[in-house]
Amino acid sequence: MNDSSNEPDLAFDIDALFSHLVDELGVDLSIPMDWTFTLRGSDIGQLKSIADTLDDYQCELEEAVEEIDSQGRLSLGRPMLSVVKTGALVPSEVKKIADQMQQIAGRTGIEYEGVEVFDAIDDDELFDWLSLDEAVWRLRHFNDSGLNPGEVLPWVFLLMGNSLEQMQSLAEALVTGGFDNSQADEDPDEDGRFGVFVFQEGSNDEERLVAAHRQITKIATEHGAEFEGIQFLSEEDFIDVTVDLDD
């Protein structure tokens, strides 16, 4: 049995972290990623004051973070400040930021919990339609970014067909099948095809998303329509985004 105590702590050993990314995971370090440095304290106001001084970073504050102990008991942990730097960083740059976070922790009495790295999501890609696999990976990114499992998260599915009459019939079938907010779009796309949007109050739950996709695509197939993609937007936000894109 291996002694895990001999393993480097990748949250603090930057050289070991880079070796793990390249040698074990095959990560291309020339691609920008989200380098996330975590600070924890008992006072959310103190963390907010620190965030206000970090203009070069994206800062995300969480007032309480759910934690599970070794016996599976759930509790609310201390407030957390995630300090994110997006880029194709080299070890010396990550070490410099880590040193800065450690200095802040030492000066203020809060705790520095190390660095993690995640695939960055390009803002220009946030509103692209996702395949089911891509949507599941997006959920995992949300988890890594601090969204709690099961937390409310809006979903919208897009289905496409060849005629407005066909898609109006599909929308009615979806409503009958339990998807109450299903709407046929009366305006065709540039290829002359028509769409149905299915808006749901979803959640950060892979199994539930996969089950909804299965039900929706089954009904769509029965009406000769095709699944186009998924997005994580409410109806209101979706309308705002489409208006902005049209402008």
Q: Which residue has the tokens 């480097």?
A: 8
* The pLDDT value given to residue 247: 43
* Out of 17-21, 46-50, 69-73, 147-151, least confident range: 69-73
**233's tokens:** 């937007």
Residue 76's pLDDT band, with cuts at 50, 70 and 90, is low
| Mean pLDDT, rounded, of the chain | 86
Does the pLDDT value for residue 183 go beyond 60? yes
Residue 111's pLDDT band, with cuts at 50, 70 and 90, is very high
Sign of CA dihedral 202, 86, 35, 28: positive
CA atoms within 13 A on the CB side of 185: 19
Does the pLDDT value for residue 6 go beyond 80? no
CB atoms within 10 A of CB 36: 21
* The pLDDT value given to residue 1: 38
Domains (range + CATH), the chain: 4-120 (3.30.70.970), 146-246 (3.30.70.970)
Burial 209-221 (b: 16+ CB within 10 A, else e): beebbeebbebbe
Residue 27's pLDDT band, with cuts at 50, 70 and 90, is confident
* Out of 65-74, 99-108, 162-171, 183-192, least confident range: 65-74
CB atoms within 10 A of CB 103: 11
Residue 25's pLDDT band, with cuts at 50, 70 and 90, is confident
**148's tokens:** 């709690």
Task: Please tell me which residue, 22 or 142, carries the higher pLDDT value.
Answer: 22
Task: Please tell me which residue, 70 or 117, carries the higher pLDDT value.
Answer: 117
- List, for residues 118-127, the tens digit of each pLDDT value: 876 554 455 5
Taking the C-alpha atoms of residue 78 and residue 39, their distance in angstroms, rounded to an integer, is: 10
